[in-house]
Amino acid sequence: EPEVTQTPSHQVTQMGQEVILRCVPISNHLYFYWYRQILGQKVEFLVSFYNNEISEKSEIFDDQFSVERPDGSNFTLKIRSTKLEDSAMYFCASTRESSYNSPLHFGNGTRLTVT
């Protein structure tokens, strides 16, 4: 069965550095999402992406964050200048249709540790 893949599985970076988290959604899916989960807390929505543009974003998704689909297969999340509080598990997900009528397919996540 097709899967959403995320790389790397674990990223350690120093405060202030830029990181790029990568995701390859399922090939015939049209909607893409990033979520994060701070250790011990609930999953939070960051951003949704459709038709090469952001369709929704949460209050968390400030100017430090950006998303891109550079080549038709990869979907990336960039954090420009990481802060300690950005340490979390970041999940990518994709759906064939919008998630109000289509099940989500999650990647295994990237654990980001900012030191």
How is 56-107 classified by DSSP, letter by letter? EE-TT--TTEEEE--SSS-EEEEESS--GGG-EEEEEEEESS-TTSS--EE-
Number of residues that bind other proteins (CB under 8 A): 25
- Least separation in angstroms between CB 45 and other proteins: 4
What is the spatial distance between Cα 29 and Cα 111, in angstroms, rounded to a whole number? 24
Give the nearest distance from C-beta 16 to other proteins in angstroms: 26
Considering only residues 11 through 70, tell me which ones interact with other proteins, judged by CB under 8 A: 33, 35, 37, 41-45, 47-48, 56, 58
Q: DSSP letters of 12-59?
A: EE-TT--EEEEEE--TT--EEEEEEE-TTS-EEEEEEEETTEEEEE-T
Which CB sits closer to other proteins, 14 or 108?
108
Q: Specify the residue, 15 or 43, whose C-beta has the smaller distance to other proteins.
A: 43
* Binding region for other proteins (CB under 8 A): 33, 35, 37, 41-45, 47-48, 56, 58, 89, 91, 99-106, 108-109, 111
